Amino acid sequence: MDRRGGRATRSPQEPKIRAAFARVLVELREQADLTQEEVGEKSGYEEKYISALERRKHTPTLTAIIQLATALDVSPMEILRRVLELLPKFSHLEVKS
């Protein structure tokens, strides 16, 4: 994020990153046969936050990625690898300047 005049501006890539992360989170949650509520309980986050991540409403922090990975019994690196692999599929969401 860039700060100008005290206000944060979003990266043009944020929408495609959110979309790729959402897809990975849903896939991993379904593979683990867990509900959003169960992932929330295991990760320490509310079900509402898990839902918002899956609906592309929030961008996860590094802390969230690590805690979600633990809840889903995968490594944070696996989540990031899968997100990076999917990014090209969501390039149409990148904000053009």
| E-only strand ranges, 19-83 | none
What is the reported pLDDT for 95? Answer: 78
Do the beta carbons of residue 83 and residue 20 sit within 8 Å?
Answer: yes
Q: What is the mean pLDDT of each run of 10 residues along the chain (97 residues)?
A: 53 92 98 98 97 96 97 98 95 79
Instruction: Report d(CA 7, CA 65) in Å as an integer.
Output: 25
Residue 66 to residues 9, 44, 86, Cα–Cα distance (Å): 25, 11, 19
- Largest Cα span, the chain: 46
* H-type alpha helices, 32-73: 36-43, 47-54, 62-72
